[in-house]
């Protein structure tokens, strides 16, 4: 039973939630995919090392108002604006798995070690998959960062109540705030109010075999009066992207997933590939984008760990050739690298 079920909302069901344009992907062919991976020994190793850089901790800890974003790894981004430090899908663990010795293993260490983070004020969670919601990382954040607030998809608040010590999901002292699609919450920056919008994308949720679709999933828009940031979370290409553009207008910076897309027959309903990631950037009107959801955890899909960055570069070059213009500013950062913007 969905405790947040609202009959008037078309994406609500008594047993959970559905997408707007492809209600539910039942992932037929899992056994076929696994057998093909084993037979062909996929994924192949990276053709060259994936190397991070030393984070600019002086910049990261400097109390400046201008927006900046640091890729920590996978979908974990530190976005800083107007004195507020925002962390997306925090994962500092060794594996993205319910089993400590099995499952996708971390290939690249976090770009900012946990104990060198600045004070984190806000955490934005896109959905509850193991590579996006890590229990140990969340518990460490709530234990070590005072006055932290977690903004989560509808339904995920109950997971926090059950598994995270110190999580409060109700009342004036709540530090876990659950939002439905198209809802927003306003926080205070040093000089301005900042709106956090939770927006629909096509994906799904599950922690285990029998809880598929029981909690919501989505993307986040951080709307400052002078700067607009979008965090894609995980998504397939769908009309939801155009809906976001129509509802929110253009963005100054977007963090867009580019990895975990092969084989397409299996992944297309859940994950965009780099060519689609570029289309997403163009559709939402982002002036700049940074690539996330790649190069960090081994074995999430069939492409080599370094392939997403190469395929994105190919897509950008094809765009430039086709339209005879410079390609969009879609950056592939190294783990620990920061991009700085201005208002």
Where exactly are the structural domains of the chain? 55-340
Alpha-carbon 123 to chain mean position: 11
Burial 28-67 (b: 16+ CB within 10 A, else e): eeeeebeeeeeeeebbeeeeeeeebeebbbeebeeeebeb
Token code pair at residue 48: 């060259």
For the chain, give me the number of helices (H) and strands (E)?
8, 16
Is 0.85 surpassed by the pTM of this model? yes
Residue 89 φ then ψ, to 5°:
35, 65
pLDDT of residue 98: 86
pLDDT tens across the length of the chain (343 residues): 899 999 999 999 999 999 999 988 666 788 899 899 999 999 999 998 899 999 999 999 998 899 999 999 999 999 999 999 999 999 999 999 888 778 899 999 999 999 999 999 999 999 999 999 999 999 999 999 999 999 999 999 999 999 999 999 999 999 999 999 999 999 999 999 999 999 999 999 999 989 999 999 999 999 999 999 999 999 999 999 999 999 999 999 999 999 999 999 999 999 999 999 999 999 999 999 999 999 999 999 999 999 999 999 999 999 999 988 889 999 999 999 999 998 8
pLDDT at 26: 65
Beta bridge pairs of residue 41: none
The helix/strand/coil state of 43 is coil
Bridge-based pairing of strands 68-73 and 251-257 is unpaired
DSSP codes, 267-326: HTTT---HHHHHHHHHHHTEEEEEEES-SSBTTSSSS-TTHHHHHHHHHHHHHHHHHTSP
Q: Give residue 342's pLDDT.
A: 85
Q: Strand pairing of 184-188 and 176-179?
A: unpaired
End-to-end CA distance of the chain: 45
Note the pLDDT of residue 105.
94
Is 102 exposed, middle or buried, given 0-12, 13-18 or 19+ CB atoms closer than 10 A? exposed
User: Residues 132, 89: contact at Cβ < 8 Å?
Assistant: yes
Give me the pLDDT at residue 343, please: 82
Identify the residue whose tokens are 């707007």. Answer: 20
Region of 317 on the Ramachandran plot (φ > 0 left; ψ -120 to 50 alpha; else beta): alpha
Question: CB–CB of 123/86 below 8 Å?
Answer: yes
Q: How far is CA 316 from the centre of its chain?
A: 22
Domain formed by 55-340, architecture: 4-Layer Sandwich (3.60)
Separation CA 149–CA 297 (nearest Å): 26
């Amino acid at each position: 039973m969905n405790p947040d079920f609202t009959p008037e909302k078309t994406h609500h069901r008594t047993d959970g939630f559905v997408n707007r344009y492809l209600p539910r992907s039942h992932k037929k062919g899992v056994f076929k995919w696994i057998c093909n991976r084993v037979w062909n020994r996929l994924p192949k190793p990276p053709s060259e090392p994936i190397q991070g850089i030393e984070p600019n901790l002086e910049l990261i800890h400097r109390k400046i108002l201008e927006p900046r974003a640091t890729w920590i790894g996978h979908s974990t981004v530190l976005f800083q604006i107007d004195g507020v430090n925002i962390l997306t899908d925090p994962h500092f663990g060794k594996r993205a798995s319910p089993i400590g010795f099995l499952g996708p293993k971390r290939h690249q260490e976090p770009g900012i070690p946990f104990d060198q983070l600045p004070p984190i004020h806000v955490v934005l969670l896109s959905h509850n998959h193991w590579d996006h919601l890590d229990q140990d990382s969340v518990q460490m954040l709530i234990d070590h960062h005072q006055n932290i607030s977690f903004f989560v998809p509808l339904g995920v608040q109950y997971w926090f109540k059950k598994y995270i010590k110190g999580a409060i999901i109700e009342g004036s002292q709540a530090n876990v705030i659950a939002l439905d699609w198209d809802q927003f919450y306003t926080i205070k920056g040093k000089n301005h109010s900042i709106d956090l919008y939770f927006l629909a994308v096509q994906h799904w949720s599950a922690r285990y075999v029998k809880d598929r679709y029981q909690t919501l999933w989505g993307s986040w828009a951080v709307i400052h009066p002078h700067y607009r940031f979008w965090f894609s979370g995980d998504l397939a290409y769908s009309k939801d992207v155009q809906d976001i553009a129509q509802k929110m207008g253009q963005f100054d910076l977007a963090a867009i997933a580019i990895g975990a897309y092969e084989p397409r027959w299996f992944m297309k309903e859940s994950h965009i590939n780099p060519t689609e990631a570029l289309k997403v950037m163009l559709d939402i009107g982002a002036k700049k984008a940074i690539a996330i959801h790649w190069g960090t955890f081994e074995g999430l899909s069939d492409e080599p760990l370094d392939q997403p960055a190469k395929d994105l570069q190919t897509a950008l070059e094809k765009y430039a050739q086709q339209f005879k213009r410079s390609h969009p500013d879609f950056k592939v950062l190294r783990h620990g690298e920061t991009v700085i913007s201005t208002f």
